[in-house]
Protein backbone atom coordinates (compact mmCIF):
# COMPACT_ATOMS: atom_id res chain seq x y z
CA UNK A 1 0.00 0.00 0.00
CA UNK A 2 1.29 3.44 -0.90
CA UNK A 3 -0.38 6.76 -0.08
CA UNK A 4 0.92 9.99 -1.58
CA UNK A 5 -0.49 13.47 -1.01
CA UNK A 6 -0.32 15.01 -4.47
CA UNK A 7 -2.09 18.32 -3.80
CA UNK A 8 -3.29 20.34 -0.83
CA UNK A 9 -5.07 23.70 -0.84
CA UNK A 10 -2.73 26.19 0.90
CA UNK A 11 -3.66 26.89 4.52
CA UNK A 12 -3.86 30.58 3.59
CA UNK A 13 -7.17 29.85 1.80
CA UNK A 14 -8.67 28.40 4.98
CA UNK A 15 -7.56 31.48 6.92
CA UNK A 16 -9.12 33.78 4.30
CA UNK A 17 -12.41 31.91 4.73
CA UNK A 18 -12.26 32.20 8.50
CA UNK A 19 -11.23 35.87 8.39
CA UNK A 20 -14.22 36.68 6.19
CA UNK A 21 -16.54 35.08 8.71
CA UNK A 22 -15.00 37.29 11.41
CA UNK A 23 -14.61 40.43 9.19
CA UNK A 24 -10.97 40.60 10.27
CA UNK A 25 -9.14 40.24 6.96
CA UNK A 26 -6.74 43.03 7.96
CA UNK A 27 -5.31 40.85 10.77
CA UNK A 28 -4.46 37.95 8.48
CA UNK A 29 -0.78 36.99 8.61
CA UNK A 30 -0.53 33.56 6.88
CA UNK A 31 1.47 32.92 3.72
CA UNK A 32 0.93 29.72 1.76
CA UNK A 33 0.99 26.87 4.28
CA UNK A 34 2.65 28.91 7.05
CA UNK A 35 0.32 30.54 9.56
CA UNK A 36 1.35 33.73 11.35
CA UNK A 37 0.74 34.17 15.09
CA UNK A 38 -2.62 35.97 14.64
CA UNK A 39 -3.97 33.30 12.34
CA UNK A 40 -2.67 30.45 14.51
CA UNK A 41 -4.58 31.88 17.50
CA UNK A 42 -7.78 32.33 15.48
CA UNK A 43 -7.57 28.86 13.95
CA UNK A 44 -7.24 27.33 17.43
CA UNK A 45 -10.40 29.19 18.55
CA UNK A 46 -12.33 28.10 15.47
CA UNK A 47 -11.46 24.43 16.08
CA UNK A 48 -12.40 24.73 19.77
CA UNK A 49 -15.76 26.23 18.72
CA UNK A 50 -16.20 23.31 16.28
CA UNK A 51 -16.85 25.72 13.38
CA UNK A 52 -16.05 22.72 11.17
CA UNK A 53 -17.64 23.93 7.92
CA UNK A 54 -14.65 26.28 7.44
CA UNK A 55 -12.52 23.16 6.84
CA UNK A 56 -14.43 22.44 3.66
CA UNK A 57 -12.32 25.14 1.95
CA UNK A 58 -9.26 22.84 2.10
CA UNK A 59 -9.07 20.02 -0.44
CA UNK A 60 -6.56 17.19 -0.51
CA UNK A 61 -5.77 14.91 -3.45
CA UNK A 62 -4.23 11.52 -2.70
CA UNK A 63 -2.82 8.84 -4.97
CA UNK A 64 -3.44 5.51 -3.26
CA UNK A 65 -1.89 2.37 -4.76
CA UNK A 66 -1.68 -1.35 -4.07
CA UNK A 67 -4.87 -1.63 -2.05
CA UNK A 68 -7.37 -4.49 -2.21
CA UNK A 69 -10.82 -4.39 -3.75
CA UNK A 70 -11.99 -5.43 -0.27
CA UNK A 71 -10.95 -2.10 1.22
CA UNK A 72 -12.06 -0.23 -1.91
CA UNK A 73 -15.69 -1.09 -1.19
CA UNK A 74 -15.28 0.30 2.35
CA UNK A 75 -13.63 3.52 1.18
CA UNK A 76 -16.45 3.94 -1.35
CA UNK A 77 -19.02 4.17 1.47
CA UNK A 78 -17.86 7.75 2.22
CA UNK A 79 -20.14 9.88 0.10
CA UNK A 80 -20.07 13.46 1.45
CA UNK A 81 -17.02 15.62 0.61
CA UNK A 82 -15.12 12.61 -0.68
CA UNK A 83 -14.78 11.15 -4.18
CA UNK A 84 -12.33 9.02 -6.12
CA UNK A 85 -11.46 7.69 -9.53
CA UNK A 86 -10.46 4.02 -9.49
CA UNK A 87 -8.48 1.94 -11.95
CA UNK A 88 -11.14 0.12 -13.96
CA UNK A 89 -10.92 -3.67 -14.12
CA UNK A 90 -13.35 -3.49 -17.05
CA UNK A 91 -10.71 -1.63 -19.05
CA UNK A 92 -7.46 -2.94 -17.59
CA UNK A 93 -7.83 -6.54 -16.35
CA UNK A 94 -6.68 -8.12 -19.62
CA UNK A 95 -3.42 -6.15 -19.41
CA UNK A 96 -2.46 -8.06 -16.25
CA UNK A 97 -3.89 -11.54 -16.78
CA UNK A 98 -4.75 -12.19 -20.40
CA UNK A 99 -1.92 -14.74 -20.91
CA UNK A 100 -2.24 -18.18 -19.34
CA UNK A 101 -0.02 -18.84 -16.34
CA UNK A 102 1.40 -22.28 -15.32
CA UNK A 103 -1.16 -24.40 -13.42
CA UNK A 104 1.03 -25.57 -10.54
CA UNK A 105 4.47 -23.90 -10.41
CA UNK A 106 6.73 -24.04 -7.30
CA UNK A 107 5.28 -22.19 -4.28
CA UNK A 108 7.84 -19.35 -4.59
CA UNK A 109 6.57 -18.49 -8.07
CA UNK A 110 2.96 -18.53 -6.91
CA UNK A 111 3.88 -16.29 -3.98
CA UNK A 112 5.63 -13.85 -6.31
CA UNK A 113 2.65 -13.47 -8.68
CA UNK A 114 0.08 -13.36 -5.87
CA UNK A 115 2.15 -10.71 -4.02
CA UNK A 116 2.39 -8.64 -7.19
CA UNK A 117 -1.31 -8.71 -8.07
CA UNK A 118 -3.04 -9.16 -4.71
CA UNK A 119 -2.86 -7.90 -1.13
CA UNK A 120 -1.68 -10.69 1.18
CA UNK A 121 -2.83 -10.01 4.76
CA UNK A 122 0.35 -9.62 6.87
CA UNK A 123 -1.40 -11.31 9.82
CA UNK A 124 -1.14 -14.72 8.14
CA UNK A 125 1.25 -17.27 9.65
CA UNK A 126 3.11 -19.92 7.61
CA UNK A 127 0.18 -22.32 7.20
CA UNK A 128 -2.39 -19.57 6.62
CA UNK A 129 -0.17 -17.90 4.04
CA UNK A 130 0.35 -21.17 2.15
CA UNK A 131 -3.38 -21.72 2.01
CA UNK A 132 -4.03 -18.13 0.96
CA UNK A 133 -1.34 -18.07 -1.74
CA UNK A 134 -2.42 -21.43 -3.21
CA UNK A 135 -6.13 -20.51 -3.30
CA UNK A 136 -5.45 -17.05 -4.73
CA UNK A 137 -3.08 -18.43 -7.35
CA UNK A 138 -5.71 -20.96 -8.42
CA UNK A 139 -8.27 -18.16 -8.84
CA UNK A 140 -5.80 -16.15 -10.95
CA UNK A 141 -5.09 -19.27 -13.01
CA UNK A 142 -8.83 -19.73 -13.68
CA UNK A 143 -9.06 -16.05 -14.66
CA UNK A 144 -6.43 -16.59 -17.35
CA UNK A 145 -8.33 -19.72 -18.50
CA UNK A 146 -11.52 -17.68 -18.96
CA UNK A 147 -9.57 -15.15 -21.03
CA UNK A 148 -8.19 -17.98 -23.19
CA UNK A 149 -11.78 -19.17 -23.77
CA UNK A 150 -12.42 -15.72 -25.25
CA UNK A 151 -14.45 -14.05 -22.50
CA UNK A 152 -14.08 -10.25 -22.10
CA UNK A 153 -13.02 -8.28 -18.98
CA UNK A 154 -16.69 -7.62 -18.17
CA UNK A 155 -17.28 -11.33 -17.55
CA UNK A 156 -13.86 -12.41 -16.28
CA UNK A 157 -13.74 -9.76 -13.54
CA UNK A 158 -16.44 -11.63 -11.61
CA UNK A 159 -13.87 -14.29 -10.79
CA UNK A 160 -11.42 -11.89 -9.17
CA UNK A 161 -10.52 -12.39 -5.52
CA UNK A 162 -11.34 -9.50 -3.16
CA UNK A 163 -7.62 -9.19 -2.49
CA UNK A 164 -6.94 -8.16 -6.12
CA UNK A 165 -4.98 -4.89 -6.08
CA UNK A 166 -6.34 -1.62 -7.34
CA UNK A 167 -5.34 2.04 -7.36
CA UNK A 168 -7.22 5.32 -7.01
CA UNK A 169 -7.03 9.10 -6.95
CA UNK A 170 -9.05 10.50 -4.06
CA UNK A 171 -10.30 14.06 -3.54
CA UNK A 172 -11.45 14.90 -0.03
CA UNK A 173 -12.04 18.07 1.93
CA UNK A 174 -10.46 18.54 5.36
CA UNK A 175 -13.79 18.32 7.20
CA UNK A 176 -14.64 14.93 5.68
CA UNK A 177 -11.05 13.72 6.07
CA UNK A 178 -11.30 14.50 9.78
CA UNK A 179 -14.51 12.42 9.91
CA UNK A 180 -12.94 9.53 7.96
CA UNK A 181 -9.83 9.53 10.17
CA UNK A 182 -11.91 9.48 13.35
CA UNK A 183 -13.69 6.35 12.08
CA UNK A 184 -10.84 4.58 10.34
CA UNK A 185 -7.87 5.19 12.66
CA UNK A 186 -9.83 3.20 15.20
CA UNK A 187 -8.92 -0.36 16.15
CA UNK A 188 -12.48 -1.24 15.12
CA UNK A 189 -11.76 -0.37 11.48
CA UNK A 190 -10.56 -2.90 8.88
CA UNK A 191 -6.76 -3.22 9.29
CA UNK A 192 -6.08 -2.19 5.69
CA UNK A 193 -8.27 0.92 5.92
CA UNK A 194 -6.59 1.71 9.22
CA UNK A 195 -3.17 1.59 7.53
CA UNK A 196 -4.42 3.86 4.74
CA UNK A 197 -5.94 6.29 7.27
CA UNK A 198 -2.68 6.35 9.23
CA UNK A 199 -0.70 7.14 6.07
CA UNK A 200 -3.17 9.89 5.04
CA UNK A 201 -2.99 11.35 8.54
CA UNK A 202 0.83 11.41 8.47
CA UNK A 203 0.78 13.17 5.10
CA UNK A 204 -1.67 15.94 6.11
CA UNK A 205 0.02 16.38 9.49
CA UNK A 206 3.29 17.03 7.66
CA UNK A 207 1.62 19.52 5.29
CA UNK A 208 -0.65 21.35 7.77
CA UNK A 209 0.61 20.52 11.28
CA UNK A 210 -1.18 23.44 12.93
CA UNK A 211 -4.53 22.16 11.69
CA UNK A 212 -4.14 18.41 12.25
CA UNK A 213 -2.33 18.62 15.57
CA UNK A 214 -5.26 20.62 16.95
CA UNK A 215 -7.51 17.54 16.85
CA UNK A 216 -7.12 14.58 19.19
CA UNK A 217 -6.73 12.03 16.41
CA UNK A 218 -3.60 10.49 17.98
CA UNK A 219 -5.84 9.33 20.82
CA UNK A 220 -8.41 7.53 18.60
CA UNK A 221 -8.82 3.96 19.90
C1 LIG B 1 -16.12 -0.07 12.28
C2 LIG B 1 -17.10 0.05 11.15
C3 LIG B 1 -17.95 -0.99 10.86
C4 LIG B 1 -18.89 -0.89 9.81
N5 LIG B 1 -19.71 -1.93 9.53
C6 LIG B 1 -20.62 -1.85 8.55
C7 LIG B 1 -21.52 -2.91 8.24
O8 LIG B 1 -21.51 -3.95 8.88
N9 LIG B 1 -22.39 -2.78 7.22
C10 LIG B 1 -22.46 -1.62 6.49
O11 LIG B 1 -23.30 -1.53 5.58
N12 LIG B 1 -21.61 -0.59 6.73
C13 LIG B 1 -20.70 -0.67 7.72
N14 LIG B 1 -19.84 0.37 7.96
C15 LIG B 1 -19.91 1.56 7.10
C16 LIG B 1 -20.69 2.70 7.76
O17 LIG B 1 -22.03 2.31 8.02
C18 LIG B 1 -20.71 3.94 6.84
O19 LIG B 1 -21.38 3.62 5.63
C20 LIG B 1 -19.32 4.42 6.46
O21 LIG B 1 -18.49 4.48 7.60
C22 LIG B 1 -19.41 5.81 5.82
O23 LIG B 1 -19.54 6.77 6.84
P24 LIG B 1 -20.66 7.88 6.85
O25 LIG B 1 -22.01 7.32 6.79
O26 LIG B 1 -20.36 8.76 8.02
O27 LIG B 1 -20.49 8.58 5.43
P28 LIG B 1 -19.77 9.92 4.98
O29 LIG B 1 -19.92 10.09 3.53
O30 LIG B 1 -18.36 9.91 5.47
O31 LIG B 1 -20.68 10.99 5.64
C32 LIG B 1 -20.22 12.07 6.38
C33 LIG B 1 -21.35 12.53 7.30
O34 LIG B 1 -22.37 13.17 6.53
C35 LIG B 1 -23.64 12.90 7.10
N36 LIG B 1 -24.47 12.15 6.14
C37 LIG B 1 -24.03 11.48 5.05
N38 LIG B 1 -25.07 10.97 4.36
C39 LIG B 1 -26.17 11.30 5.07
C40 LIG B 1 -27.55 11.02 4.89
N41 LIG B 1 -28.01 10.29 3.87
N42 LIG B 1 -28.42 11.50 5.79
C43 LIG B 1 -27.99 12.23 6.85
N44 LIG B 1 -26.70 12.52 7.08
C45 LIG B 1 -25.80 12.06 6.20
C46 LIG B 1 -23.39 12.08 8.37
O47 LIG B 1 -23.26 12.93 9.47
C48 LIG B 1 -22.07 11.41 8.04
O49 LIG B 1 -21.36 10.97 9.19
C50 LIG B 1 -18.93 0.30 9.02
C51 LIG B 1 -18.05 1.34 9.33
C52 LIG B 1 -17.14 1.24 10.36
C53 LIG B 1 -16.20 2.38 10.65
Q: How far is the CA of 123 from the centre of ligand 1 (A)?
A: 27
The CB of 78 under 6 Å from ligand 1? The reply is: yes
Q: How far is the CA of 86 from the centre of ligand 1 (A)?
A: 20
Same domain, 76 and 103: no
Q: Whose CA is nearest to atom 26 of ligand 1?
A: 78
Same domain, 141 and 174: no
Q: Which atom of ligand 1 is nearest to the CA of 82?
A: 29
Q: Can you point out the beta strands (E) in 38-123? A: 59-68, 82-86
Q: What SS3 state is found at 152? A: coil
Same domain, 72 and 124: no
pLDDT tens, residue by residue, 42-78: 999 999 999 999 999 999 999 999 999 999 999 999 9
Cα separation of 2 and 195, whole Å?
10
Same domain, 73 and 60: yes
pLDDT tens, residue by residue, 69-108: 999 999 999 999 999 999 999 999 988 887 889 999 999 9
Supply the range of the domain harboring residue 59: 2-85+166-219
The CB of 40 under 6 Å from ligand 1? The reply is: no
Same domain, 34 and 20: yes
Number of independent structural domains in the chain: 2
* Angle between helix 126-148 and 89-97 (nearest 10): 100
Same domain, 105 and 60: no
Please name the helix (run of DSSP H) or strand (run of DSSP E) that holds residue 34, with its range, or none: none
Amino acid sequence: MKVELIFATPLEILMKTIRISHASENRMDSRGDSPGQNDARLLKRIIEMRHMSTLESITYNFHIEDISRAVLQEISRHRIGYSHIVKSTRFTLGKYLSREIPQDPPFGEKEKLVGKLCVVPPQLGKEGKELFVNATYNALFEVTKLFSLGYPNDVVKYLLPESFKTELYATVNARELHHILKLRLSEKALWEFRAIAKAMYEEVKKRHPILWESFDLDKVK
